[in-house]
Amino acid sequence: MLFYNLIIRDLKLAFYSSTNFLLAASFLILILVLIPFVFNASPDSFTLLFSGFIWIAIALSILLTLDRVFNSDYEDGNLEIILISQFPIELIVCAKFISHWISNCIPIIIAIPIAGLLFNISLSDNLYIVVNIIAGSPGMVFIGAAISALTLGSKRASLYKTIIVIPLYIPFMIFGVNQESSLVLLGLSMISFIFSLFTSTYSLHLYAE
């Protein structure tokens, strides 16, 4: 079935070009490592600020990877092959969402406890952060993927993507820093799934025509 095949294909593609697999997570760690250099603050305040920093880092890391959801396949012509397979575009979009989340957000989720060690974060706090990210990151990936589908083929796609995506990430950041709001994040992810599914499907239909 193409749904599973597409997920496996995208994961293999990310794995073969291993820089893809590690890009988001290493970018996230790099941002976090740089932050203490620009703040003249005590270690305790870093611990306080960590959960805030991490959401900014996640937003930027996901933004960095968005070109790979549809754009790379669009540029080399593979998207056409995928689109004319006898398969509903909605499911193609879902497969793309899932594989992109696995290949970019799972490395991020693994990297966060390691980053937490650098900032002297307690295990329970780390756990809260990871739970929030598991609940919120799918939504961020969905929104990012939808916007990258919308800007497919546009000359200034990267610019538009950044300008449109970042404001849409603000709700995730607001609730992300609050330890008790993982259910709200989950809700946001679900809402963005619906929004993104229709937007991406519509954009790919437009592109196909």
Partner 1 sequence: MTNKLEINDLECIRNEKSIFQNLTFKVESSQTILITGKNGSGKTSLLRIIAGFIVNYKGEILFNSKKINDFNKLIADFKFVGQKNSLKENLTVQQNIELWQYLYQTTIDIDQITGPLNIKSFLDKDVSSLSDGQRKRVSLSRLTISQSKVWLLDEPLVYLDADKVKLLGSLIDKHNKDGGMTIYSSNTKNNLDYNKLINMDNYALL
Question: Can you give the binding site for partner 1, defined by CB under 8 A?
Answer: 1-2, 5-6, 8-9, 12-13, 16-17, 72, 75-78, 80-87, 208-209
Q: Minimum CB separation from partner 1 for residue 9, in Å?
A: 4
Nearest to 128 by CA among 92, 175, 197: 175
Q: What is the enclosing helix (H) or strand (E) of 207? A: helix 182-208
Q: CB nearer to partner 1: give 52 or 88.
A: 88
Nearer to partner 1 among residue 5 and residue 154 (C-beta): 5
A 10 A CB-CB count for 112 gives 23
Q: Is the dihedral of CA 152, 157, 162, 166 positive or negative?
A: negative
Min dist CB 205 to partner 1, Å, is 8
Q: Which two tokens stand for residue 55?
A: 């959401």
Q: Distance between CA atoms of 121 and 43, rounded to whole angstroms?
A: 10
Please say which residue, 157 or 188, places its beta carbon nearer to partner 1: 157
Assigned token pair, 194: 């619906």
Q: Which residues contact 35 (CB under 8 A, 6 or more apart)?
A: 46, 49, 53
Output 8 or 194, the one with its CB closest to partner 1: 8
Shortest distance in whole angstroms from residue 75 CB to partner 1: 8
Distances (CA, A) of 197 to 127, 174, 179, 187, 191: 30, 23, 28, 15, 10
The residue (of 68 and 161) whose beta carbon lies closer to partner 1 is 68
CB of 23 vs partner 1, minimal distance in Å: 13
- Do residues 140 and 188 touch, judged by C-beta distance below 8 A? no
What's the closest the beta carbon of residue 22 comes to partner 1, in angstroms? Answer: 14
**Which CB, 152 or 188, lies closer to partner 1?**
152
**Residue 64 CB, nearest approach to partner 1 (Å):** 17
